[in-house]
Structure 1
Amino acid sequence: MSFDYDLFVIGGGSGGVRAARIASTHGAKVALAEEYRMGGTCVIRGCVPKKLMVFASTAPGAVEEARAYGWEAAVGAFDWTGFRARLDAELDRLEAIYRKGQQGAGVTVYDQRATVAGPHEVRLADGTTVSTKHILVATGGRPFVPEFEGCKHVMTSNEIFKMEHLPERILIVGGGYIACEFACILNGLGVKITQYNRSPLLRGFDSEARDLIVDQMAAGGIDIHTHVVISKIEKDGADLVVTCGDGRVDRFDAVLYATGRVPNTDGLGLAEAGVTLGERGEVIVDQWSQTNIPSIYAVGDVTDRINLTPVAIREGHAFADTVFGAHARPSDHELVASAVFTQPEFGTCGITEEEAEERGNTEVYVSSFKPMRSGFAGSDARVLMKLIVCRESRKVLGCHIVAPEAGEMIQMVAIAMKMGATKEQFDATCAVHPTMGEELVTMRNPVRHY
């Protein structure tokens, strides 16, 4: 049977563009459809603009520290309008790079929505139907806002980068890493932050690490309330009046909901094509990213496996190599490091201490201290380094770092962990002094055994 394309990719985010480009270099005839902007969540309204906002938000702290080190320094008012203009220009530049990469690889790009019309058919928004030997769904996820009275008044992480001006008072609802990151960012930009969540913040991460982060967020001026559920939001002039289930009522200029994300599968035609979806709408795939329909695959957040950009990229690349490159390899989801860009920053890889306790036969090494740089400046900020080790194999099973630039450190540690490094090999590595990271190779005695 003859097809219009060997591969049709639905979604122009990190996973989709990587799969399309690599498949094309393997000789496949490839098309890709994206209904919004090339680059997906990460580039357009996620990791990249968020990290640039993180950089902007740390300037006041840097100026304060500079004064402690003897500099005459002051920070003026933050120009959100000017920053946003530069941010928009940077995102335009990155999107152009993504588009150029597809064109350079010979991928046909459709700037419109596409849906699955059958195991080998894709329907475009203009009504055109094309045939394809393989379909890859890479539509990512979207922010989730629960239904309640006045939910139409809130914004999500999709809209925050497009604010016309910074609010004076904002309520952030949610306790995951996105909520906590934006709480720290906006706090650093001078916004008065209140954060509500129905449970403790950063649930699912190592508890000792998250407790330190939350304590320092509160010490930095973020007003945190847990075990709070919003019942309604009403607009009163320029204010949003928020009423909670426990009877509390407060006023804010804006409300940001960061209560999780859900896979973007609504209206894609997947169920109608026979593709099995999970309870949250996620596409169910095997280790090869293949669905129950042999010609349809999915990668990235739409599969709700590990929702991180580098994971989506690797899944897309593995798919292309397997199907078109005669190099079958499954996606590897073991020991994936990640960073949470709160202030302080958090880097993590492997199992938590809670998981170590449940697993047993483990020991935990911890070092918590005031780092030299902030300590000299009179700050109460603390750093945490934690290693979790298997008592039999001696392999390092988990590493958790709360510190400035923790994301940079955990990337390096993850290499050693992926290679199966043992605690004794960490110990045999000579320290770099004076650094925070040297603590990772100088912790000699475990503080807890399981």
Structure 2
Amino acid sequence: MADFDYDLFVIGGGSGGVRAARVAAATGAKVALAEEFRMGGTCVIRGCVPKKLMVFASEYQEMFADARAYGWDVEDGSFDWSKFQPNLHAELDRLEGIYRKLLGNSDVSIHDSRATVSGPHEVTLADGTTYSAKHILVAVGGRPSLPDMKNADLAITSNDIFLLKELPQKTLVVGGGYIASEFACILNGLGVEVTQFYRGAQILRGFDDEARGLVSEMMIEKGVDLHLGTNVLEMEKHEDGIWVKCTNGSEAVYDQVMYATGRVPNTDGLGLEEVGVELGRNGEIIVDDYSQTKVPSIYAVGDVTNRVQLTPVAIREGMAFVETVFNGNPTKPDHELIPSAIFTQPEMGTVGLSEEQAAEQEPVEIYATSFRPMQTAFAERPDRVLMKLVVSKATRKVLGCHIVSPHAGEMIQLAGIAVKMGATKEQFDATCAVHPTISEELVTMRDPVRTA
């Protein structure tokens, strides 16, 4: 058998790559990992973690008003980006250090370098050093893309928002997915005047219609100037900012324009096609159920495969890869019934099928309730929450659960367990309510509001 420098060479130090490297090393394999930028990948360095910290920061504005309603003698504060930003980056540095330590403690060799695939069993670093590996795992993730239009480079993406020297006063966010909608809410909460354009009929396409409709309504209520069926036509740099003309003919000048209209896999110049790895039309790596490419020694996990672009999914794919390749136990990553949260304001949590998807499959009953939560109703805020279950008429299984509410992300994690287990509506009903909570509504809805 040929001798290799490594049993596994991982390209990419994000969530999927780091987990796969560590778990593979724990089996006794000799493992290396190359990362050209910073350990932690999109999630830790320029995604979920800094975004969630910004979400926390942006929620305090409403808390001041609420506190007064509850009898606290507090004044409205003003947000200071110059105090928040260094703390944010210090936390990201701390987390990156933890990732490095975890790899080091797992005896993974770290190469701080760009790496490309130069053969079915060969990886070349930026300085020309070449290593042989029995298996190569590509986990290089993806990046936000700018549109193919004149002056697109005037805009920033979600990658750049954490690096801004100062917070803009007036911003246009372009896009209607969860990243665009989350940042529209964050900036609005931090006191920025936010306009959001989305070319479609409603934001958060692919999610439950009723749930995304409520999120959209509440975002507008809280001050986001949302324009649906609208897109950017032209952009130009003017003295006082970025001039934007949109498809409805109106014009305005903004301090910043942020695009969140899609992501592309980071496969450019990796040498994959040259060694026989098949790429899809957006540059994603085509893999089978076991994350294996057309080249048997090369595998790929995470966003670069464009299957489900979520951190915990990349981690599970990485672990299934190790189970398959190093433990001799062929394991397919499970992409069914993945719970997810959207950190808009209000938050949305979802697992399973939307009402629309379920109704296309089979006859369903819809159990839903919408009401003002006790905490903000007392403070006389117009917030509304939605609790919704989509139930199969035939099997009584809960096919989908959709929550729009404060802490929806926390709730959907637990509801996701029940839905993943195949719980029926009657099993939800047999669970005693925790009172008074918002989440008790999931187990107290007796009659369907409609059938579909």
SS, match of residue 159 in structure 2 = helix
Counterpart CA distance in 2 for 1:263 and 1:424 is: 43
* Residue identity matched to 2:160: E
Matched with 1:307 is 309
The SS at the match of 2:124 is: strand
User: How far apart, CA to CA, are the structure 2 residues paired with 1:448 and 1:193?
Assistant: 36
The residue that corresponds to 2:404 in the other structure is: 402
1:16-59 C-alpha deviation (Å, 9 max, x unpaired):
00000000000110000000000000000000000000000000
**Does the 8 Å contact 1:116/1:268 carry over to 2?**
yes
The letter of the residue matching 2:85 is R
Aligned match of 1:223 = 225
**1:131-155 deviation per Cα after TM superposition (whole angstroms, max 9, x unaligned):** 1100100001100111111111100
The alpha carbon displacement at 1:361 in A equals 2.1
Query: Which residue of the partner structure matches residue 11 of structure 1?
Result: 12
Q: Secondary structure at the match of 1:321?
A: helix
Partners of 1:230 and 1:395 in 2: how far apart? 44
Amino acid corresponding to residue 91 of structure 1 in structure 2: L
Say whether the 8 Å CA contact 2:36–2:112 is kept in structure 1.
yes
Query: Residue 62 of structure 1 aligns with which residue?
Result: 63
SS at match of 1:157: coil
- Per-residue deviation, 1:280: 1.0
- Once the 2 structures are TM-superposed, how far is the Cα of residue 2 of structure 1 from its aligned partner? 0.8
- Unaligned stretches of 5+ in structure 2? none
Paired position in structure 2 for 1:34: 35
Deviations 1:42-84 (A, max 9, x none): 0000000000000000001111101111111123221101110
Deviation at 1:176, TM superposition (A): 0.4
Q: CA offsets per residue over residues 97-117 of structure 1, 9 Å max, x none?
A: 000010110000110100111
Whether 1:112 aligns to 2:101 is no
User: What TM-score comes out, normalization by structure 2 length?
Assistant: 0.98
SS in 2 for 1:272: helix
For 2:76 and 2:96, the matched residues in 1 are separated by: 32
Question: What letter is aligned with 2:393?
Answer: R
Task: Answer yes or no: is the 8 Å Cα contact 2:143–2:264 preserved in 1.
Answer: yes
Distance 2:156 2:87 in 1: 22
Partner of 2:437: 435
User: Equivalent residues in 2 for 1:155-166 (5 A)?
Assistant: 155-166=156-167
3-state SS of 2:275 partner: coil
Aligned to 1:161, what secondary structure does the other structure show?
helix
Are the equivalent residues in 1 in contact too, given 2:146–2:153 (CA < 8 A)? Answer: no
Cα pair 1:149 1:231 within 8 Å, conserved: no
Deviation of 1:419 after TM superposition, in Å, equals 1.2
1:329 to 325, 328, 331: 331
Residue 248 of structure 1, CA deviation: 1.6
What is the CA-CA distance between 1:448 and the residue it aligns to? 1.8
Structure 1, unpaired ranges of 5+ = none
Deviations 1:410-429 (A, max 9, x none): 00000111111111000000
The aligned counterpart of 1:206 is: 208
User: Could you list the per-position Cα deviations for residues 366-423 of structure 1 after superposition, in whole angstroms to 9, with x for gaps in the alignment?
Assistant: 0111111111110111010010111121111100000000000000000111111111
> 1:306: how far off?
0.7
Contact 1:364/1:447 (CA < 8 Å) preserved in 2? yes
Give the counterpart letter for 1:224 in structure 2: L
The aligned residue for residue 389 of structure 1 is 391
**Deviation string, structure 1 residues 210-251 (Cα, Å, up to 9, x no partner):** 000000000111101111221221111141001123322110
Q: Which residue of 2 aligns with 1:93?
A: 94
Q: Check whether the contact 2:349–2:412 (CA below 8 A) recurs between aligned residues.
A: yes
Q: Distance in 1 between matches of 2:298 and 2:445?
A: 49
Q: What is the correspondence of 1:43-442 to structure 2 with a 5 Å cutoff?
A: 43-199=44-200, 200-442=202-444
Q: Distance in 1 between matches of 2:31 and 2:197?
A: 46
Aligned residue-pair number = 450
| Pairwise CA distance, 1:326 | 2.7
Distance in 1 (CA, whole Å) between partners of 2:448 and 2:361 is 17
Give the AA of the match of 1:301.
D
State the TM-score, normalizing by the size of structure 1. Answer: 0.99
The amino acid of 2:53's aligned partner reads L
Give, in whole Å, the separation in 2 of the partners of 1:329 and 1:339.
26
Report SS of the residue matched to 1:438: helix
Counterpart residue identity of residue 320, structure 1: V
Identity, % of aligned pairs? Answer: 63
CA distance in 1, matches of 2:34, 2:240: 40
